[in-house]
Structure 1
Amino acid sequence: MPEHSPSPTPERAIYGFVLYLLSYVVFFTYVIWAYVPDEWLYAIGLTYLPQKYWAIALPTFACVTFLLAFPFYMGLILIQTPSLSSHSVTTDSYSRRRPSEDIPEDAIPPLYDLTTDEINQMLQTTNDKKYH
């Protein structure tokens, strides 16, 4: 089974090159349609074209849509992000919780993940000792 790679295959490279050329053709066609007077376009046989109004309206609509959608999606991301005090931020299915049973003093303590509260408490006591 072949391994998937992000490097372009010959087919993807050809598609990309064709889309690259097509984007330039569409852009230059748009610029010619927007700036060349209608009489010149009629003279070469192009009679069925949209109004020049749309040469300004479509990019303006696209920019306004982007400017309104960007803050909306940023807000949506912020709403869906759990708060820093949430356990889902610091734990996952591989996290080990502190054992609830008492461990003898001479035993080697088991490995477990520290909670954010324990880390903050350790840092606070370290800072208290450091600055007092």
Structure 2
Amino acid sequence: MSNKNSPGPSHERAIYGFVMYMSSTFALCLYLIWAYLPKSWLHYVGLTYWPQKYWALAVPVYCSVCVPFLYFFYTAYNFTITLPLDSINTMQDIHSRAASHVAEPSLSIPQISDIPISEVNKLLYRRPKQITESDVK
């Protein structure tokens, strides 16, 4: 058995993880130096080519504004690809499974199947006094 695809630790993953940890720490330190040190100190050290300080605030703000927009966009996109309620494909499609009426042992879990829409409507839209114990099972 090959553990090439296993989620367990391996030497390669340890090396990649360490390199990613060190590079992200270095990037954070570089960002903090750029954002907080005055421009005159950076020029004194010899670091002359840096983006404007405006971007030290603008990029994190733009990124944090993108998160709610992505939630909104994802929800709106799901609404656009949803089929209309009167489409038959909202009740049945190529992946639908009909209930099999094969005798099963009494304590076994029944096979996965879709509940017919007529059964769902009977349970949801009957008056409470019409629901019997056999309907709940």
Report the AA paired with residue 95 of structure 2: D
Overall identity of the aligned pairs, in %: 37
TM-score normalised according to structure 2 size: 0.65
Whole-Å separation in 2 of the counterparts to 1:65 and 1:22: 24
Report the number of matched residues.
Answer: 118
Of structures 1 and 2, the larger Rg is shown by 1
Equivalent residues in 2 for 1:1-132, closer than 5 Å: 2=2, 4-82=5-83, 86-88=90-92, 92=95, 95-96=97-98, 110-111=101-102, 114-122=115-123, 127-129=128-130
Unaligned runs of 5+ in 1: 99-109
Whole-Å separation in 2 of the counterparts to 1:46 and 1:113: 66
Cα–Cα, structure 1 residues 36 and 122, in superposed 2: closer, same or farther, change >3 Å? closer
Report the AA paired with residue 39 of structure 2: D
Q: Is the 8 A contact 1:82 1:88 kept in 2?
A: no
Unaligned runs of 5+ in 2: 103-112, 133-137
Whole-Å separation in 1 of the counterparts to 2:24 and 2:67: 20
Report the AA paired with residue 87 of structure 1: M
TM-score normalised according to structure 1 size: 0.67
Report the AA paired with residue 34 of structure 1: A
